[in-house]
Chains A and B, each alone.
Chain A
Amino acid sequence: MAFWILAPIMVVAALGILFVRKAVHAALLLAVVMISLAVLYAVLDAPFLFAVQIIVYTGAILMLFLFVLMLVGVDASDSVVETIRGQRAMATVLGLLLGLVLVTGFSQIALGTAVGLDEANEGGNIQQLANVLFSRYVFAFEATSALLITAAMGAMVLAHRERLTPKSTQSSLAAQRMRDYAETGKHLGPLPSPGVYARHNAVDTPALLPDGTASELSVSRVLAARGTVRSAPAFADDIDEVRRQLAAGRSDATADPDRMPEQGGKDGAPATTEEDVPR
């Protein structure tokens, strides 16, 4: 019963991995598949693997994926355009062919009645697994431990970055700032604060420079990378909406958009930040 509920969910989630553009979404869909798998393990009389699947896979490995995703940048999303000629078509054809062969093959054969694990799990699945693992598979188990240690070492070596320059201190940073100012005229003070608009929490809205252009420095770089920076023209509609509401509230005639104080800088402020442009 659980199978027939979970199987469609898993297949849909797996297909979702193929088609979602953002890696984070793919990770979440993978989590769905894995948790469903864990339930299926439980159904298949493997309570230990059920726990391991939840703890190790969904808990550790998938979290590791998410962690790296955050490091790499959550904005890292795939383009839909295929670069290798014929790759997608061939992959689809071959994949479908493989799936077709496997599915027809496996559905045609008769495995017969399942023996069931009642006898094998006599005295508890975990105890029996331990019996097998620490007797017949003890060498493999020990080898696995060596593998894990090696993997840990490897991860440390790979992730380690040798420091090539001395660590910059407060004073050296201040000196660098002064040098930059002297050489390139870079502003000495802090970065400009974001633009502030009445109806919006403005941390994702760029400030406007005196000539009406948006200042990129005023918005956090992460927001810009994530593509969630709002542009001034987008707010223009909001403002029009507000004015319409105000005008409606004040009963007609007095409403004169031209006298609204916000009007001044709006026209000459075209948005220069990209929005939701796939990379």
Chain B
Amino acid sequence: MNLQTIVLAAEGGAIPVVHPVDADGVFSLLWLIIALPLAGAVVLLLGGALAPRALDRVGHWLGTATVAGSFGLSLAMFVSLLGRSEEERQVGQHLYTWFEVGGLDVGMDLLYDPLSALFLLLITGVGALIHVYSIGYMEHDARRRRFFGYLNLFVAAMLVLVLSANYLGVFLGWEGVGLASYLLIGFWQHKHSAAAAAKKAFVINRVGDIGLSLAIALMFTTFGTTDFAAISESAGDASQGTLNALGLLLLLAACGKSAQVPLQAWLLDAMEGPTPVSALIHAATMVTAGVYLVVRSNFIYDLTPTAQTAVVIVATVTLLWGAVLGCAKDDIKKALAGSTMSQIGYMMLAAGLGPAGYPFAIFHLLTHGFFKANMFLGAGSVMHGMNDDVDMRHYGGLSKYMPVTFLTFAMGYLAIIGFPGFSGFWSKDKIIETALAENLVVGLCALLGAGITGFYMTRLMLMTFFTEKRWADDVHPHESPRLMTVPLIVLAALSVLGGVLILNDFIVDFLAPVTGVAEHHEPPLAPLVITLIVTLVVAAGVAAAWFLVGKRDIPREAPQDVSFATRAARADLYGDAINEGLVVQPGRRLVGGLATFDRVGVDGVVEGGSAAVGGMSGVLRRVQNGFVRSYALSLLGGALLVVLALLAVNLA
């Protein structure tokens, strides 16, 4: 079956079916990849009651070790997977039956295929590096053990998300990462802004989760199961309307988790969390879960062009939206967050383009995971040296004081703007190329986005590491400790070299069993010409930044008399205002109206009824006056009534 599918897929156009073989050898340890960080989380979060001192001393190493162990296992499996023939590259492991209700049978099943494999490497690899970095970054935080517990919890949940073999398992991980994200954004809960940001992220994510849960419910009713295997096999039997609904609901879920318009508002606020959290969760892994969901659901999206179009539109809007935000923000983390939103837009765009785009979505996801984690950690390093100041207007000329941070950050910078040879160059270029081949407008938007990326990243780079010093007097920038710089160096290396995955179309062929093989579309121009154009556009963006930012004085305080566009971008393009006006206020009015209705209408009927009965009883009880003669009178009245009734009945 599987072989046949591959053959069909190789001919182009066919949608691959998920058909895992049983786990054996190293793959039988699949469960351990999840279990390790989960055990770490349990020990760190619950064990504190037993041995707080000891855990405070070694907890962070324990947390790092579990993720590193998972990474080792992932690497071993990845190597083992490469050694297998293509038709055996989907491995399933049935752990236990999760629950069984009526005709519904949901197992705790794991699926290890090329897609999961890449994700595992990204999550555990980047995760382990960020854990190491966090040891240094969180050194002076009293609650470091708890922080590592949360991080481990997040990694475990994320692994559940990408390893699960059915949508319900994905949902479990989906909610798990949402919880971890909430806990970590609000880690410094004593700051009101952090607590509010955590709540905002949680609430907006719930909106997306509704999409996922509804999609799962729809799958139950349509297919009677949530297994990838079964659904991929029978997806073609479902009606077009159902498939459209499924695609749109999954897109809603992806929007919530991946901060796509219109559910984008939480991501910038989420930067209130510690910087490693921003790097791991809100740049490298969790926010890409939406892309994973779309790519994983390729067997649905390939059948519903409507939903695919919606994905492309959402992605294009987000791509530009995030890029514009990134241009105006002075907060280094928020600028990076806007960039993240924009880059995820690229991934979603690729994912929305169908089989031709899936590999490049994942490719860009990986390279983005490297260079964006690198830059976030670099930003954390800068903040570390600048007394936790995040305003880029207070930086300037740091390249001399933080050479390692500067160099690693520069690698990430070159990667993201797509400097030829760096990882981002390959991945983004491929996406734009594919987009141009599919739709000219979308392709041009992506191209424009690349130019804006060049602009805002150059602006960030210039304001932070070049131009003149604008520090406060008591700031003494210094290089970060080795524990923080080593992960930076590793990630910088990955940012530079990530592009090797595209060599010889490795990633396309590697992912083919999952995503299928695209029919070949001829781009409007030769690929080389497109590459050249992209590079030129990026260069134009860089040059614009150089002339607009680098050549001018940067005031320490952000100027207020700026153009409308700048004001709008600073205000997140009025995303919060739109939410407020379109959802929150009407919702508040609706709830207020309902509350009033409940108070006046429902309570009025209930309480009014009881009050009426009570009042009537209060009047009627006067009949019970204690005078036996009164009672006798009513007896007589009753007897008279009976007699009259008898007469009436008998005479009638």
Docked complex: A82-113 residues within 8 A CB-CB of B: 84, 87, 90-91, 94-95, 97-98, 101-102, 105
Please tell me which one of the listed residues A84, A87, A94 contacts residue B640 in the complex, with CB atoms under 8 A apart.
A94
Does B636 count as interface, using CB distance less than 8 angstroms? yes
* Contacting pair B637 A94 (CB below 8 A): yes
Closest to B637 in A: A94
Pull 19 A–B residue pairs with CB atoms less than 8 Å apart, ordered by A: A84-B625, A84-B627, A84-B629, A87-B627, A87-B630, A87-B633, A91-B636, A94-B633, A94-B636, A95-B636, A97-B640, A98-B636, A98-B639, A98-B640, A98-B643, A101-B640, A101-B643, A101-B644, A105-B647
Q: Is the CB of A87 within 8 A of B629?
A: yes
Contact B643–A102 (Cβ < 8 Å): yes
Give the chain A neighbours of B629 by CB distance below 8 A: 84, 87, 91
CB within 8 Å: A-B pair count? 29
Q: What is the minimal beta-carbon distance from A2 to any residue of chain B, in angstroms?
A: 30
Which B residues, 622 to 640, have Cβ-Cβ distances below 8 Å to chain A? 625, 627, 629-630, 633, 636-637, 639-640
A91-B633, A95-B636, A101-B644 given; name 5 further pairs at CB < 8 Å. Answer: A84-B630, A87-B630, A91-B629, A94-B640, A101-B647
**Distance A94 CA – B643 CA, assembled complex (angstroms):** 12
Residues in B whose Cβ lies below 8 Å from that of A95: 636
CB neighbours (8 Å) of A97 from chain B are 640
* Total count of chain B residues near the partner, CB < 8 A: 12
Residues of B within 8 A of A91 (CB): 629, 633, 636
B644: nearest residue on chain A (CB-CB)? A101
Q: Please report the C-alpha to C-alpha distance between residue A102 and residue B639 in the assembled complex, in whole angstroms.
A: 12
- List residues of chain B with CB under 8 Å of any chain A CB: 625, 627, 629-630, 633, 636-637, 639-640, 643-644, 647
Residues of chain A touching chain B, judged by Cβ–Cβ distance below 8 Å, are 84, 87, 90-91, 94-95, 97-98, 101-102, 105
Contacts of B625 in A (CB 8 A): 84
**CB-based nearest B residue for A82:** B629
CB closest chain-B residue, reference A104: B647
Q: How far is the CA of A241 from the CA of B164 in the complex (A)?
A: 131
> Closest 7 interchain pairs by CB?
A94-B636, A98-B640, A84-B627, A101-B643, A90-B633, A94-B637, A91-B633
Q: CA–CA, A102 to B642, complex, Å?
A: 12
Residue of A nearest to B636 (CB): A94
Query: How far does the Cβ of A115 sit from chain B's closest Cβ, in whole Å?
Result: 23
With both chains docked as a complex, state the minimum distance between the C-beta of A259 and any C-beta of chain B, in angstroms: 61
Give Cα distance in the complex from A98 to B625, angstroms: 24
CA A141 to CA B246, docked complex, whole Å: 87
Instruction: Say how far A110's CB is from chain B's closest CB, in angstroms.
Output: 14
Complex-state Cα separation, A97 to B644, whole angstroms: 10
Taking the nearest CB of chain A, how far is it from the CB of B641, in angstroms?
Answer: 10
B392 to A: closest C-beta gap in Å: 92
Which chain B residue lies CB-closest to A84?
A: B627
Residues of A within 8 A of B644 (CB): 101
**Chain B's nearest CB lies how many Å from the CB of A23?**
16
Give bound CA distance, A87 to B627, whole Å: 10
Q: Which residues of A contact B637 (CB under 8 A)?
A: 94
Report A-chain residues with C-beta under 8 Å of the C-beta of B647. 101, 105
Measured between beta carbons, the chain B residues less than 8 angstroms from A101 are: 640, 643-644, 647
| Whole-angstrom CA separation of A94 from B632 in the bound complex | 11
CB-defined contacts of B643 to chain A, threshold 8 Å: 98, 101-102, 105
A87 to B633, CA, bound (A): 8
- A107 to B643: give the CA distance in the assembly, Å: 15
Question: Smallest distance from the beta carbon of B406 to chain A beta carbons, Å?
Answer: 103
The distance in angstroms between the C-alpha atoms of A84 and B629, with both chains bound, is: 9
With both chains docked as a complex, state the minimum distance between the C-beta of B48 and any C-beta of chain A, in angstroms: 75
Chain B residues whose CB sits within 8 angstroms of the CB of A87 once the complex forms: 627, 629-630, 633
Chain A residues within 8 Å of B633, by CB = 87, 90-91, 94
B199 to chain A, nearest CB (A): 68
**Cα–Cα distance between A94 and B637 once the two chains are bound (Å):** 7
Per the bound structure, the CA–CA distance linking A97 and B640 in Å amounts to 8
* Distance of A91 Cα from B639 Cα, bound (Å): 13
- State the CA gap A90–B630 with chains docked (Å): 10
State the Cβ distance, A156 to closest chain B Cβ, in Å.
25
Give the distance in Å from the alpha carbon of A127 to the alpha carbon of B643 in the complex: 37
Inter-chain contacts of B630 with A (CB < 8 A): 84, 87
Cα of A98 to Cα of B636 in the assembled complex, Å: 8
Q: Residue on B with the closest CB to A105?
A: B647
Give Cα A84–Cα B630 distance, bound, in whole angstroms.
8
- What are the residues of chain A within 8 A of B640 when measuring CB–CB? 94, 97-98, 101
Q: How far is the CA of A14 from the CA of B629 in the complex (A)?
A: 19
Contacts of A105 in B (CB 8 A): 643, 647
B636 cross-chain contacts in A, Cβ below 8 A: 91, 94-95, 98
- Nearest residue in A to B640 (C-beta to C-beta)? A98
Q: How far is the CA of A94 from the CA of B647 in the complex (A)?
A: 17
Task: Write out the residue numbers on chain B whose beta carbons fall within 8 Å of the beta carbon of A98.
Answer: 636, 639-640, 643
Q: Report B453 CB to chain A, min CB distance, Å.
A: 95
> Closest Cβ of chain B: how far from A108's Cβ, in Å?
10
Alpha-carbon distance A94/B635, docked complex (angstroms): 11
Q: Closest residue of chain B to A94, judged by CB?
A: B636
Nearest residue in A to B632 (C-beta to C-beta)?
A: A91
How far is it, in angstroms, between the C-alpha of A227 and the C-alpha of B640 when the chains are bound?
A: 42
Query: Complex Cα distance A209/B46, Å?
Result: 104
Chain B residues whose CB sits within 8 angstroms of the CB of A90 once the complex forms = 633
Return chain B residues, CB-CB under 8 Å to A94: 633, 636-637, 640
Complex Cα spacing A84 to B647, Å = 31
Residue of B nearest to A90 (CB): B633
CB distance from B397 to the nearest CB of A (A): 103
Q: Provide the bound-state CA to CA distance between A91 and B629, in Å.
A: 10
Q: Give bound CA distance, A232 to B567, whole Å.
A: 117
Q: Give the distance in Å from the alpha carbon of A182 to the alpha carbon of B549 in the complex.
A: 121
A164 CA / B627 CA spacing, docked (Å): 32
In angstroms, Cα B635 to Cα A91, docked, is 11
